[in-house]
Amino acid sequence: MFYRPVHLIPPNTRIDFMRWHKFTFAFSLFLVLGSFALIFIKGLNFGIDFEGGILIEAQSQGPADLGSLRAQLDGLGLGEVSLQEFGSANDVLIRLAHQKYTDADQQLAADQVKKERPGTRADELPRLAAKRADQNAQANAVAKVTQSLGTAYSVRRSEFVGPKVGSELIQDAIWAIILSMVGIMGYVWFRYEWQFGVNALAALVHDCVTTVGLFALLGYEFNLTTVAAVLTIAGYSVNDTVVIYDRIRSELRRYKKMPLAELLNLSINETLPRTVMTSGMTLLSVLALYFFGGEVIRGFSLAMIWGICIGTYSTIYVAAPMLIYLHLRREKVGPAEKAEAEKRP
Partner 1 sequence: MLHFSKWSIWVTLGILLLGIVFAAPNLLTREQAEGLPSWLPHKQISLGLDLRGGSYLLLEVDVEGVIRDQLETAKDAARDVLQKAKVGYTGLAVENGKAVVKLLNPADVDKVRQSLRDIDRDMTVDIDGAGNVSMSLPDTVIQQRQVRAVEQSIEVVRRRVDETGVKEPTIQRQGEDRILVQVPGVSDPAELENLLVKTAKMTFQFVDQNVSQDQIDKGQVPADDEILPMDESNGRAGMPAKMAIQKRVMVSGEHLVQAAAAFDQNGGPDVQFKFDSVGARQFCAATKDNIGRLFAIVLDKKIISAPRIQSAICGGDGIITGQFTVAETSQLAILLRAGALPATLTKVEGRTVGADLGADSIAAGKLASIMGVVLVVVAMVIFYGMFGLFADVALIFNGILLLAAMSLLQATLTLPGIAGVVLTLGMAVDANVLIYERIREEMRNGRGPVTAIDQGYRGAMGTIWDSHITTIVSAIALYAVGTGPIKGFAVTLGIGLVISLFTAVVVVRLITATWLRYVRPKELPL
Range 58-117, binding partner 1 (CB under 8 A) = 115-117
Closest CA to 218 of 27, 74, 43, 90: 43
Segment near partner 1 (CB under 8 A), from 25-33, 205-213, 300-308, 321-329?
300-308
What sign does the CA torsion over 98, 99, 105, 108 have?
negative
Residue closer to partner 1, measured from CB, 57 or 105 = 57
Interface with partner 1 in residues 26-65 (CB under 8 A): 57
Binding residues for partner 1 restricted to 321-340, rule: CB under 8 A: 339
Q: Which of 45, 60, 82, 225 binds partner 1 (CB under 8 A)?
A: 225
Among 7-15, 35-43, 64-72, 317-325, the segment contacting partner 1 (CB under 8 A): 7-15
- Residue (38 or 133) nearer to partner 1, CB: 133
When binding is defined by CB under 8 A, the residue of 23, 30, 194, 291 that contacts partner 1 is 291
Shortest spacing between CB 104 and partner 1, in angstroms: 20
By C-beta, is 74 or 295 nearer to partner 1? 295
CB of 1 to partner 1, least distance (A): 8
Report the C-alpha dihedral over residues 162, 163, 168, 169, rounded to 10 degrees.
70
Rounded distance, CA 311 to CA 288, Å?
A: 19
Q: Closest distance between partner 1 and the C-beta of residue 42, in Å? A: 25
Cβ nearer to partner 1, comparing 60 with 158:
158
Cβ of residue 22: shortest distance to partner 1, in angstroms? 29
User: Of 44 and 188, which has the nearer Cβ to partner 1?
Assistant: 188
Task: Examine residue 270 and tell whether it contacts partner 1 (CB under 8 A).
Answer: yes
Q: Are strands 53-60 and 88-96 parallel, antiparallel or unpaired?
A: antiparallel
CB of 321 to partner 1, least distance (A): 20
For residue 57, list its beta bridge partners: 93, 157
* Choice between 52 and 321, CB closer to partner 1: 52
Residues 68/69/70/74 CA torsion (nearest 10 deg): 110
Nearer to partner 1 by C-beta: 2 or 329?
Answer: 2
- To partner 1, the closest distance from the beta carbon of 31 in angstroms equals 22
Report if residue 254 touches partner 1, rule: CB under 8 A: no
Beta carbon of residue 243, minimum distance to partner 1 (angstroms, whole number): 5
Residues 156-175 contacting partner 1, CB under 8 A: 156-162, 164-165, 169, 172-173, 175
Query: Contacts with partner 1 in 182-221 (CB under 8 A)?
Result: 183-184, 187-188, 191
Stretch that binds partner 1, among 65-73, 227-235, 259-267, 316-324 (CB under 8 A): 227-235
- Determine the interface stretch with partner 1 among 18-26, 76-84, 253-261, 267-275 (rule: CB under 8 A): 267-275
